[in-house]
Amino acid sequence: MPYEDEDPPHWEPDEALNALSKQVIGAALEVHKRLGAGLDEESYQASLAIEFRLREIEFQEQVWIDVEYKGTIVGKRRLDFLVAGRLIVEIKAVQELIPLFTAQVYTYLKLTNLELAVILNFDVPYLKDGIKRVIRPLSPL
């Protein structure tokens, strides 16, 4: 079932991918519970990596992806986390999530041909207010 703030089309990734995103969100909730708001992205990223290891969640950190234009690589971008080779996790520590962050993650989904990403903004009083799932649209962006 889509989350309330997700943009159309409202389709749902497979059950295993949804379960993976719930595991990631659970790990992030634990990090936020222990650290709270007000730190830098690097501190949250390092803490989340520790929590992933403790929970035995498979992940890669700081993963470089190619930016391709008409068959030519024109640059590279770095993902904060690639979880189980299927889920992009982007870490933020900002006052609010702006539309540019969502657009950036849509681009990452397109470049990687993945279906789902989670943006985690740790600079909020309650992490539930800083979680945004981003589902790749069914049609090209």
Q: Give the model confidence (pLDDT) of 65-93 as tens digits.
A: 999 999 999 999 999 999 999 999 999 99
pLDDT score at 133 = 94
Instruction: Give me the sheet containing 72-83, strands edge to edge.
Output: 59-69, 72-83, 87-92, 116-121, 131-135
Output the CA torsion sign for 41, 59, 26, 132: positive
pLDDT at residue 58 greater than cutoff 80: yes
Nearest Cα to Cα of residue 120 among 1, 15, 31: 31
**Residues 132, 13: Cα–Cα separation, whole Å:** 15
Output the CA torsion sign for 30, 128, 82, 98: negative
pLDDT at residue 140 greater than cutoff 60: no
pLDDT score at 13 = 81
Least confident of 3-7, 84-88, 96-100, 137-141: 3-7
pTM above 0.75, yes or no: yes
Return the CATH number of 15-135, one of 3.30.390, 3.90.1570, 3.40.50, 1.20.140. Answer: 3.90.1570
pLDDT score at 14 = 85
Task: Measure the N-to-C terminal CA separation of the chain; round to a whole number of Å.
Answer: 22
pLDDT score at 137 = 77
Cα separations in angstroms, 47 against 24, 35, 53, 61, 119: 12, 9, 10, 12, 16
For residue 136, the surrounding DSSP H or E stretch is none
* pLDDT per position as a tens digit, 104-132: 999 999 999 999 999 999 999 999 999 99
- The domain segmentation of the chain, as residue ranges, is 15-135
pLDDT at residue 2 greater than cutoff 50: no
Which of the four pLDDT bands, split at 50, 70 and 90, describes residue 12?
confident
Residue 103 three-state SS: helix
For 60-88, give the DSSP string: EEEEEEEEEETTEEEEEEEEEEEETTTEE
